[in-house]
Amino acid sequence: MQPTDLLPHRDPFLFVSEIREVDPGKSATGVWHLRGDEAFFAGHFPGRPTLPGVLMLESLAQLGGIAVLADARFAGKLPLFGGIEKARFRRQVLPGDSLELEVTVGRLSSRAGTGRGRAQVGGQTACEADLLFVLVDRD
């Protein structure tokens, strides 16, 4: 399964390169391989490229969207950010790194839900956060 099989996101705003495992409506693991030539590295920061924290959060949200959209009950829906709580950034993520992603879905109803995400590089936590989302019709 490819991320684009479930997510409407496309380059340059697709931040999940591969899906490793999905338990529909419950959890997912995946990876974002950072090539190093992504445009944001040029400006964040010149001479010391670092992945912006908000993009780490977005990659976790996209993986959470994959977990939710893999559940047949939510086919045709679009998960949108409703909020972020307890976000913590623990290490820099650099060009060439592979960001290992994991999301566990918490409360989930027909209109909204919660999740907990963690992003790691080489087994070290780079980012973790509680995610809130709402589900809307895609049309």
**Structure confidence at residue 139 (pLDDT):** 78
- Its CATH class, for the domain covering 3-137, is alpha beta
CA-CA distances (angstroms) from residue 18 to 7, 40, 116, 117, 126?
A: 12, 21, 19, 16, 18
**Structure confidence at residue 95 (pLDDT):** 98
Cα atoms in the 13 Å half-sphere on the side-chain side of 65: 28
Q: Where are the domains of the chain?
A: 3-137
pLDDT (tens digit, 9 = 90+) per residue, 60-95? Answer: 999 999 999 999 999 889 999 999 999 999 999 999
pLDDT (tens digit, 9 = 90+) per residue, 12-55? Answer: 999 999 999 999 999 999 999 999 999 999 999 999 999 999 99
pTM of the model: 0.97
How would you class 115 by CB atoms within 10 Å of its CB: exposed for 0-12, middle for 13-18, buried for 19 or more? buried
44 is an active site residue = yes
Q: Which of 14, 18, 38, 44 is catalytic?
A: 44
